[in-house]
Homo-oligomer: A and B are copies of this chain.
Amino acid sequence: MQNRRIVLASRPHGAPSEQNFRLETLPAAEPGEGQALVRTVFLSLDPYMRGRMSDAPSYAAPVQIGGTMEAGVVGRVVQSRSPELAPGDWVEARLGWQEYAVADAKALRKLPPGAPPSTGLGVLGMPGMTAWVGMANIGQPKPGETVVVAAASGPVGSMVGQIARIRGARAVGIAGGADKCAYVRSLGFEDCIDHRDPAMAERLAEACPKGIDVYFENVSGKVWEAVLPLLNPFARVPVCGLIANYNMTELPPGPDRTPQVMRAVLSKRLLIRGFLVFDFADQQAAFLEEAGRWLAEGKIKHREDVTEGLENAPRAFIAMLGGGNFGKTLVRVGPD
């Protein structure tokens, strides 16, 4: 059986291009004892993958040149040599940008019945859990507080705002363009600011008349600059992503604003804390229980942006980094 996969052909300087990727065809591996062969149905594309393409020091090792691009996928067991899995089972795992992969059974998470399998990569997967653990452990919104999040039509941002609303807080989103902003408002956000609006900072201030208590940071850049003066005393800033900086090849021109940030940290007693979803792996069951219930009860909505065909994954990934997606970015690699 042949396996098609996408490997890292070269490291990007600045924004990635399709030339940084290469499609390869080679025989699929055979499962060993305790392993299973999985066929990918949906592949998840997420901003963190830009970091894996670089060899700058980070929390995770980079993808090697010639190595399969990393990703979470949902797929179906084709062949199993583990008593825990049977052919046809739906599983979620980090199997990469490819059609087939072999993995240890213990690295494969069986999807619970009920929700559509693709949600295991979005609202009930890594992005949804990122929002949930960041809000539960760091943001901790209280009723009546104001929560701001950018990329608000995306899978993390949309969940952040909906959690804020469920917790009795006011959510204000930031997104690119009128369509996305309309969608964000339809999720129950009080307001949504278009980051392309030259008066974005003023509009944000108007939308947050009582200041900002939680800023869920996933973009950085000019949004962070607009948020900083609006933060209230004791505001919390969970930091899970910095998409505006990922393609940066050098630091922006001066002045150096670090003293401004540190002054705000001190005088407003801010809490700024970076986190990754897998730092809170022990909270996965609690997340799946609560978010699964919200989804079943219709308390949260989600949206997927599906590109067809593994070969189109690089293009979809590049578009997503520039905000070209609308909802959770997925690639359909094969039929259900």
A261 in the interface (beta carbon within 8 A): yes
A272 in the interface (beta carbon within 8 A): yes
* Range of interface residues on A (Cβ < 8 Å): 35 or more
Chain B hits for A59, CB < 8 A: 233, 267-269
Chain B hits for A272, CB < 8 A: 265, 270-273
Encode contact with B along A243-280: 1 for CB under 8 Å, 0 otherwise.
00100101111111111111111111111111110010
Encode contact with B along A162-176: 1 for CB under 8 Å, 0 otherwise.
000000000000000
Closest chain B residue, CB of each to CB of A236: B273
Choose from B241, B261, B270, B271 the contact partner of A266 (Cβ within 8 Å).
B241
CB distance from A134 to the nearest CB of B (A): 11
Closest chain B residue, CB of each to CB of A271: B273
A242 in the interface (beta carbon within 8 A): yes
Q: Is there an interface contact between B261 and A261, defined as CB atoms closer than 8 Å?
A: yes
Known interface pairs A59-B267, A273-B271. Does A256 touch B255 (Cβ–Cβ under 8 Å)?
Answer: yes
Closest chain B residue, CB of each to CB of A254: B254
CB distance from A8 to the nearest CB of B (A): 19
A113 in the interface (beta carbon within 8 A): no
Choose from B245, B266, B268 the contact partner of A242 (Cβ within 8 Å).
B266
Q: Is there an interface contact between B251 and A260, defined as CB atoms closer than 8 Å?
A: yes
Show the binding face of A for B, using Cβ within 8 Å: 51, 57-59, 217, 220, 224, 233, 239-242, 245, 248, 250-276, 279
Known interface pairs A256-B258, A270-B272, A272-B273; 19 further A-B residue pairs with C-beta atoms within 8 A, sorted by A's residue number: A51-B267, A59-B233, A240-B266, A242-B259, A242-B262, A242-B263, A245-B259, A251-B254, A251-B257, A252-B256, A253-B255, A256-B256, A258-B258, A261-B261, A265-B273, A269-B274, A269-B275, A269-B276, A271-B273
